[in-house]
Amino acid sequence: MSSENRRTFLKRFRYFYAPALLAGAGSYGYGATLERHRLRIDHHDLKLALGPRAPRSFRAVSLTDFHFDPLYEEDFVLECVLRANALKPDIVLLTGDYISNTSTRINDFARIIGGLEASTGVYACLGNHDHWDNRTRVAGALNHQHISVLQNQHTRISCKGGELVIAGLQSAWAGKPDWHNTAAGLRKDDRAIALMHEPDFADTLSIDPRIAFQLSGHTHGGQVRIPGWGALILPSWGKRYQAGFYDVGPRKALKLYVNRGIGTIEHHVRVFCPPEIACFDVVNTDAV
Is the pLDDT at 14 greater than 50? The verdict is: no
**Do 45 and 155 lie in a common domain?**
yes
CATH of residue 74's domain is: 3.60.21.10
What confidence tier does 266 reach under pLDDT thresholds 50, 70, 90? confident
State how many domains the chain has.
2
Quick one: pLDDT at residue 5? 53
**Do 74 and 8 lie in a common domain?**
no
**Do 5 and 125 lie in a common domain?**
no
Is the pLDDT at 4 greater than 60? The verdict is: no
**Do 13 and 50 lie in a common domain?**
no
Quick one: pLDDT at residue 256? 99
Contacts for 1 with CB less than 8 Å, ≥ 6 apart: 9
**Do 151 and 274 lie in a common domain?**
yes
Is the pLDDT at 24 greater than 50? The verdict is: no
Phi and psi at 10, nearest 5°, equal -65, -35
**Do 173 and 121 lie in a common domain?**
yes
Quick one: pLDDT at residue 31? 40
**Do 102 and 6 lie in a common domain?**
no
**Do 136 and 230 lie in a common domain?**
yes
Other Cβ atoms less than 10 A from the Cβ of 156: the count is: 14
**Do 73 and 117 lie in a common domain?**
yes
The arithmetic mean of pLDDT across residues 121-148, rounded, is 98
pLDDT digit string (tens) for 143-161?
Answer: 999 999 999 999 999 999 9
**Do 151 and 54 lie in a common domain?**
yes
Q: How far, in Å, CA of 203 to CA of 31, rounded?
A: 32
Bridge-based pairing state of the strands 57-63 and 40-48? unpaired
pLDDT digit string (tens) for 212-252?
Answer: 999 999 999 999 999 999 999 999 999 999 999 999 998 99
Bridge-based pairing state of the strands 57-63 and 91-95? parallel
End-to-end CA distance of the chain: 81
Structural domain of residue 19, as residue ranges?
A: 1-33
**Do 173 and 253 lie in a common domain?**
yes
What distances in angstroms separate CA 257 from CA 17, 241, 243, 248, 260, one per listed residue? 40, 9, 7, 10, 10
Its pTM stands at 0.89
Is the pLDDT at 25 greater than 50? The verdict is: no
